[in-house]
Amino acid sequence: MTIDDGNKSDITYVAPLLKQYGFGAAFYITEAGMRGLGFGRKKSVEAVERPENFVTWEDVRKLHEDGFEIGNHTELHFNLRELSKDQIRAELEHIEMRCREHDIPVPTTFVYPGSHHSIEVVEVLEEKDYLFARRGVGPEFPDNGQGARGPVYNPAEDHPLLVPTTGYAGPEWGFEDLVWAVEQAKDGKIAVLIFHGVPGLHHPWVITEPSDFERYMKYLKDQNCTVIAMRDLAKYVDPSQGPKDPYEPIQRRLALETAAPKSD
Contact between 159 and 242 (Cβ < 8 Å): yes
For strand 132-134 and strand 148-149, is the pairing parallel, antiparallel, or unpaired? unpaired
CB of 150 to Zn ion, least distance (A): 15
CB of 114 to Zn ion, least distance (A): 6
In whole angstroms, give the CA distance from residue 29 to residue 106: 12
CB of 148 to Zn ion, least distance (A): 15
CB of 69 to Zn ion, least distance (A): 16
CB closer to Zn ion out of 4 and 177? 4
Residue 200's nearest CA partner among 59, 14, 66, 1 is 14
Residues 179-218 that bind Zn ion (CB under 5 A): none
DSSP-derived letter for residue 80 is G
Contact between 19 and 42 (Cβ < 8 Å): no
CB of 222 to Zn ion, least distance (A): 29
CB closer to Zn ion out of 4 and 143? 4
Residues 4-33 that bind Zn ion (CB under 5 A): 4-5
Burial class for 39, CB neighbours closer than 10 Å (0-12, 13-18, 19+): buried
Task: Give the binding-site size for Zn ion (rule: CB under 5 A).
Answer: 2
CA distances from 16 to 19, 23, 24, 61, 219 (A): 5, 10, 11, 14, 17
Contacts of residue 171, defined as CB under 8 A and 6 or more positions apart, other chains included, come to 146, 147, 204, 205, 207
CB closer to Zn ion out of 63 and 182? 63
By rule CB under 5 A, what string of x and - marks binding of each residue 75-114 to Zn ion?
----------------------------------------
CB closer to Zn ion out of 77 and 253? 77
> Does residue 59 belong to the site contacting Zn ion (CB under 5 A)?
no
CB closer to Zn ion out of 15 and 182? 15
Which residues would be at the binding site for Zn ion (CB under 5 A)? Answer: 4-5
